[in-house]
């Protein structure tokens, strides 16, 4: 969309689906019209020959002087005085044939008449012409695909000679001054063969390979060559265009006189001189006269370069003076006179676009201007602005209006059962019932929606660690609630046999797009949390061992009660009346065979929960307190006798932290080893690259060893990560216990308890830099600095960035202090 676009003077798309190359066009007075006037001759690979006589303006059909199908692909067309008559003749090269035509125009009809034709013995590639050996008319030299030069004078073949080591044919030109042919060879060089040398060798029937007069190594495949008579230096230049560079070679010795690297892939070139003399670039160091004398280090002429990036660039000496964009990549460019206008640019694309143009600028087109940038009224803009501001303000103030319809979730739990079909359990992790089949519970989620349909509904089920669901994600593109108002999805939850139950909550969350009553959709979510029944998590067994080391005592302000009254439903479900005979003792066994026992005092409302494993206590305490509250309809004061068992928590923290440290160290070590590995590798590569390699000095052994090490460490890390998962579970369960104990011991209100759960979280996520310890440390510090601060002086919230802890001493200290402050009546608030 540059403003420097080319302006069309005349244009025509030649042929349909025909193909052309640089050599397939030439410009000149082909029909020897007395009035002069240049014509354009175009021959296509498909064998069509056309001659145009352009005039300014639109293309008219009469401008096509002749169009003829020559039946065979045209490789090159050329104009020259090939005969004695002094008339301009047209040479057409086919693959195995060179034909010379005379073109005559008599009363608006143009005809081709054959002058002579040569059958060629080899497949030809291109030709060049000139008065070789000071002949009076122009001769033609055809280059074949395999490197034979055939020199043809009028109707006779003069010379046939094969160039040595020839693989890929390239451009061929004739240099008049030195009377020689210049070709490019496969070794990325330019070679020069004198006509006289060729002639002599043929006449002497010399079988030796011919020697080039000179070769010039340009290091690139040459694509275009031109022979240019330089008016300023009064010498002849050979211009070579390679893949990326423009070279100017001297004719005599084949030395590179000038080279210019191009930023673009060049596609064609035309060199010429301006009529005015100001062609040579001047600056303070250059004396124009001196340059003309010789030793020129710049082109000293003007040239046009076409590029495959659709540009035509005009250079004057070393300066780029104009760039313009064309619609097609030009493969041929020439300067010529048409209709009395000099200096028009003829350019031709390989798909047949033939144009005659001149340079000009085009003012920026309208498509710069955006379509919507129409004139707007200030009032309207202001009104819209106000409306938008209002909306932004409304959304910032969180005054969201609830949509008309909302999705609600509900659930149904079946009885705990044993699977009646075969369940694949390779790792043996599912808890088995009496019949040896996995224990499971059927869970149904009921989606209820009062609108018509929701889109992109996604339901996620999150089950606690100690169980597994057979399906956790349900998704629907569109769910139509049309007639029925609810929708049911079912899945099974299986109990695992390797974890204590910690949290008993199943979280079901749904996200969906709900269509708004007006237009558009809202992204909404819904969530439902429910607990699994106790029967799913444990069984009641006959109490046996009443002296477990870990115990927690719960005191209520009520009188003594019978244990069975609290767990009536469980006993019912399990059918365990026969077992529950003792009124003050009850034992539960989890699926991982841990036993938890509840003892009730005979005199007062005191409960003792005890187990061999501390981690196991949490769940039963939770259930027990829940049931106490239900039984006494919340009119009960629950208290704890023991102190907060921080010690147990600390051991879990230590275990967890130690594993994280181990992983961290191993990773560090792995990084070291991999660094070492790369260094050794680099050394080795250097050794092998040397011409005279020094001994390896056991470097190979070191490389192997380092690799072994890396592998071992990686395996170690995997092991640690497994352990870490278990440690995290233990930690989580203990945190949970602590949470409950803190709540009842210090009588924390519901809101504060929620905050406490957020600060001292039982959700454990571990990353290298930032794990549970860091989070909790930061949270405890925050609590101590804000709501639990000793004095107002201390309360200074600053969100220091969270850093990796090096040991847990500080964390423990802060945890202890937090408990202390809570004991002294501290309240957690925002």
Partner 1 sequence: MDQFVLAMSKFKRQKYDDCIEICTELLKKNEYDQATWLLKCRALTMKNYIDDLEIDEEGVADILMDDNAMATAPRPGTSFSRPTSSANGGISQNVRPMSNSGRPISGYMRPGSSRMGAGSSRGQLTTAMKANRPGTNRAVTSGGRMLRIGTASMANSGGQFIQADKINARNTAKKKYMAKAVVDYLIYVEGNFRRALDVASEATVLSKYEDWWWKERIGKCYLKLGMIKEAERQLQSSIKTQDMIVTHLELAKVSMRRDQALKTIEVYQSGLEAHPFEVHLYTGISRTYEFINDPTNSNKLCKVVLNFDNTNVEAIATLASYHFYTNQPEIALRFYRRLIQCGVNNSELWNNVGLCCFYASQYDIALPCFERALSLADDTNIADIWYNIGHVAIGIGDLGLAYQAYKIAVSSNPQHAESFNNLGVLELRKGNLEQAKANFQSSSTLAEFFEPCYNSALLLWKRGDFQESYKMIQKSLELFPDHIDSKELKKNLTQHFAAF
Residues between 77 and 106 that touch partner 1 (CB under 8 A): 95
User: For partner 1, which stretch binds (CB under 8 A), given 84-92, 592-600, 642-650, 671-679?
Assistant: 671-679
Given the complex with partner 1, which of 135 and 800 has the nearer CB atom? 800
Of 628, 574, 624, the closest CA to residue 596 belongs to 624
Site string for partner 1, 260-299 (x = CB under 8 A): xx-x-x-x-------------x---------------xx-
Q: Which of 642, 671, 719, 751 binds partner 1 (CB under 8 A)?
A: 671
Q: How far is the CB of 696 from partner 1 (least distance, A)?
A: 18
For tokens 């293309």, the residue is 59
Q: How far is the CB of 783 from partner 1 (least distance, A)?
A: 17
Q: Report yes or no: 549 and 612 within 8 Å, Cβ to Cβ.
A: yes
Given the complex with partner 1, which of 102 and 313 has the nearer CB atom? 313
Given the complex with partner 1, which of 81 and 188 has the nearer CB atom? 188
Given the complex with partner 1, which of 48 and 588 has the nearer CB atom? 48
Binding to partner 1, residues 684-743 (CB under 8 A): 685-686, 689
Given the complex with partner 1, which of 73 and 403 has the nearer CB atom? 73
Q: Which of 167, 358, 411, 701 binds partner 1 (CB under 8 A)?
A: 167
Q: Does 803 sit near partner 1 (CB under 8 A)?
A: no
CA geometry: angle 503, 506, 511, nearest 5 deg? 135
Q: Does 380 sit near partner 1 (CB under 8 A)?
A: no
Q: How far is the CB of 310 from partner 1 (least distance, A)?
A: 10
Given the complex with partner 1, which of 34 and 373 has the nearer CB atom? 373
For tokens 């690297």, the residue is 261
Given the complex with partner 1, which of 154 and 325 has the nearer CB atom? 325
Q: Which of 17, 119, 165, 424 binds partner 1 (CB under 8 A)?
A: 165
Using a 10 angstrom Cβ sphere, with 0-12 exposed, 13-18 middle and 19 or more buried, the burial of residue 351 is: middle
DSSP 61-104: GGGEEEEEE-SS-EEEEEEE--SSS---EEEEEETTEEEEEEEE
Q: How far is the CB of 475 from partner 1 (least distance, A)?
A: 23
Q: What is the size of the binding site for partner 1 (CB under 8 A)?
A: 71
Task: Find the distance separating the first CA and the last CA of the chain, reported in whole Å.
Answer: 60
Q: How far is the CB of 775 from partner 1 (least distance, A)?
A: 17
The CA distance from 68 to 602, in Å, is 121
User: For partner 1, which stretch binds (CB under 8 A), given 215-223, 480-488, 526-534, 566-574?
Assistant: 215-223
Binding to partner 1, residues 11-50 (CB under 8 A): 19, 21-22, 45
Q: How far is the CB of 716 from partner 1 (least distance, A)?
A: 19
User: For partner 1, which stretch binds (CB under 8 A), given 131-139, 164-172, 407-415, 509-517?
Assistant: 164-172
Q: Does 186 sit near partner 1 (CB under 8 A)?
A: yes
The CA distance from 67 to 70, in Å, is 10
Three-state secondary structure string covering 319-330: EEEEEEECCCCE
Half-sphere exposure of 724 (CA within 13 A, CB side): 21
Site string for partner 1, 102-141 (x = CB under 8 A): ---------------------x-x----------------
The CA distance from 77 to 66, in Å, is 15
Q: Does 793 sit near partner 1 (CB under 8 A)?
A: no
Q: Which of 69, 121, 209, 243 binds partner 1 (CB under 8 A)?
A: 243
Q: How far is the CB of 168 from partner 1 (least distance, A)?
A: 6
Q: Does 75 sit near partner 1 (CB under 8 A)?
A: yes
Q: Does 168 sit near partner 1 (CB under 8 A)?
A: yes
Q: How far is the CB of 516 from partner 1 (least distance, A)?
A: 22
Three-state secondary structure string covering 485-539: CEEEEEEEEEEECCCCCCCCEEEEEEEEEEECCCCCEEEEEEEEEEECCHHHHEE
CB atoms within 10 A of CB 744: 17
Q: Report yes or no: 359 and 314 within 8 Å, Cβ to Cβ.
A: yes
Q: Does 796 sit near partner 1 (CB under 8 A)?
A: yes
Q: Does 830 sit near partner 1 (CB under 8 A)?
A: no
Binding to partner 1, residues 301-340 (CB under 8 A): 308, 318-321, 323, 325, 331
Q: Does 781 sit near partner 1 (CB under 8 A)?
A: no
Q: How far is the CB of 239 from partner 1 (least distance, A)?
A: 16
Give backbone dihedrals phi and psi of 448, rounded to 5 degrees, phi first. Answer: -130, 130
The CA distance from 29 to 37, in Å, is 6
The CA distance from 757 to 741, in Å, is 12
Q: Does 212 sit near partner 1 (CB under 8 A)?
A: no
CA geometry: angle 346, 349, 354, nearest 5 deg? 45
Total residues belonging to the chain: 830
Binding to partner 1, residues 386-415 (CB under 8 A): 389, 392
Binding to partner 1, residues 591-620 (CB under 8 A): none
User: For partner 1, which stretch binds (CB under 8 A), given 59-67, 408-416, 609-617, 793-801?
Assistant: 793-801
For tokens 């000095």, the residue is 697
Q: How far is CA 74 from CA 47, 98, 100, 330, 354, in A?
A: 5, 10, 13, 19, 17
Token readout for 285 is: 């160091």
R_g over Cα of the chain = 47
**Residue 432 DSSP class:** B
Q: How far is the CB of 215 from partner 1 (least distance, A)?
A: 11
Q: How far is the CB of 290 from partner 1 (least distance, A)?
A: 14
Q: Which of 63, 111, 230, 244 binds partner 1 (CB under 8 A)?
A: 244
Binding to partner 1, residues 481-500 (CB under 8 A): none
The CA distance from 40 to 23, in Å, is 13
Q: Which residues contact 444 (CB under 8 A, 6 or more apart)?
A: 411, 412, 413, 414, 488, 489, 490
């Amino acid at each position: 969309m540059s403003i420097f676009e080319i302006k069309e003077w005349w244009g025509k798309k030649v042929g349909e689906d025909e193909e052309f190359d640089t050599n397939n066009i030439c410009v000149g007075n082909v029909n020897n019209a007395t009035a002069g006037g240049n014509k354009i001759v175009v021959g296509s690979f498909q064998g069509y020959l056309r001659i145009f006589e352009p005039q300014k303006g639109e293309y008219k059909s009469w401008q096509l002087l002749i169009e003829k199908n020559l039946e065979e692909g045209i490789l090159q067309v050329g104009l020259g005085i090939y005969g004695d008559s002094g008339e301009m003749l047209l040479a057409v090269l086919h693959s195995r044939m060179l034909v010379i035509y005379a073109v005559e125009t008599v009363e608006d009809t143009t005809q081709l008449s054959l002058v002579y034709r040569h059958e060629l013995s080899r497949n030809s590639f291109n030709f060049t012409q000139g008065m070789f050996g000071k002949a009076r008319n122009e001769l033609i030299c055809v280059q074949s695909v395999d490197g034979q030069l055939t020199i043809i004078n009028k109707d006779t073949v003069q010379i046939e000679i094969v160039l040595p080591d020839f693989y890929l044919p390239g451009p061929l030109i004739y240099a008049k001054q030195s009377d020689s042919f210049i070709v490019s060879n496969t070794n990325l060089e330019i070679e020069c063969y004198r006509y006289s040398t060729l002639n002599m060798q043929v006449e002497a029937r010399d079988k030796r390979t011919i020697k080039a007069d000179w070769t010039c190594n340009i290091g690139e495949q040459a694509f275009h060559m031109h022979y240019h008579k330089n008016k300023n230096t009064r010498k002849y230049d050979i211009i070579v265009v390679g893949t990326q560079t423009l070279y100017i070679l001297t004719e005599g010795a084949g030395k590179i006189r000038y080279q210019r690297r191009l930023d673009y892939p060049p596609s064609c070139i035309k060199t010429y001189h301006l009529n005015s003399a100001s062609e040579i670039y001047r600056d303070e160091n250059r004396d124009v006269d001196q340059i003309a004398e010789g030793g020129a280090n710049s082109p000293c002429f003007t040239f046009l370069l076409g590029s495959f990036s659709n540009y035509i660039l005009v250079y004057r000496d070393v300066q780029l003076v104009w760039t313009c964009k064309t619609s097609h990549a030009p493969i041929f460019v020439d300067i010529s006179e048409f209709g009395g206008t000099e200096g028009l640019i003829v350019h031709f694309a390989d798909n047949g676009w033939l144009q005659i143009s001149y340079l000009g600028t085009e003012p920026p087109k309208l498509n710069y201007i955006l379509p919507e940038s129409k004139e707007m009224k200030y009032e309207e803009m202001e009104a819209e602005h106000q409306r938008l501001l209002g909306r932004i303000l409304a959304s910032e103030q969180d005054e969201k209006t609830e949509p008309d319809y909302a999705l609600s979730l509900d659930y149904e739990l079946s009885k705990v059962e044993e699977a009646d079909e075969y369940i694949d359990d390779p790792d043996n992790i599912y808890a088995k019932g009496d019949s040896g089949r996995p224990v499971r519970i059927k869970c149904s989620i009921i989606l209820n929606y009062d609108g018509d349909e929701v889109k992109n509904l996604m339901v996620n089920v999150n089950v606690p660690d100690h169980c597994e669901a057979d399906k956790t994600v349900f998704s629907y593109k569109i769910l139509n609630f049309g007639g029925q108002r609810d929708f049911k999805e079912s899945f099974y939850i299986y109990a695992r046999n390797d974890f204590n139950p910690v949290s008993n909550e199943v979280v079901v969350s749904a996200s969906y797009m709900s269509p708004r009553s007006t237009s558009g959709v809202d992204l909404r979510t819904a969530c439902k949390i429910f607990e699994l029944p106790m029967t799913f998590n444990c069984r009641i067994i006959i109490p046996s061992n009443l002296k477990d080391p870990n115990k927690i005592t719960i005191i209520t302000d009520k009188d003594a009660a019978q244990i069975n009254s609290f767990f009536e439903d469980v006993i019912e479900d399990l059918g365990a009346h026969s077992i529950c005979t003792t009124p003050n003792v009850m034992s539960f066994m989890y699926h991982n065979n841990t036993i938890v026992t509840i003892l009730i005092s005979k005199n007062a409302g005191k409960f003792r929960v005890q187990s061999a494993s501390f981690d196991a206590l949490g769940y039963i305490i939770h259930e027990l307190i829940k049931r106490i509250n239900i039984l006494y309809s919340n009119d009960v004061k629950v208290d704890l006798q023991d102190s907060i068992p921080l010690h147990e928590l600390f051991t879990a923290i230590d275990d967890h932290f130690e594993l994280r440290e181990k992983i961290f160290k191993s990773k560090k070590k792995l990084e070291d080893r991999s660094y070492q590995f790369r260094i050794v590798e680099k050394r080795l590569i250097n050794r092998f690259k040397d011409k005279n390699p020094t001994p390896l000095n056991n470097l190979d052994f070191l490389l192997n060893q380092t690799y072994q090490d890396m592998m071992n460490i990686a395996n170690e890390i995997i092991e640690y990560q497994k352990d870490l998962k278990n440690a995290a579970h233990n930690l989580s369960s203990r945190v949970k216990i602590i949470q409950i104990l803190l709540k009842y011991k210090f009588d924390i209100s519901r809101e504060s308890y929620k905050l406490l759960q957020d600060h001292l979280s039982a959700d454990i996520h571990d990353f290298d830099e930032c794990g549970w310890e860091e989070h909790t440390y930061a949270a405890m510090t925050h609590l101590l600095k804000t709501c639990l601060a000793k004095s107002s002086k201390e309360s200074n919230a600053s969100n220091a960035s969270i850093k990796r802890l090096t040991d847990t001493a500080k964390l423990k200290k802060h945890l202890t202090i937090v408990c202390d402050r809570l004991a002294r009546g501290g309240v957690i608030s925002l």
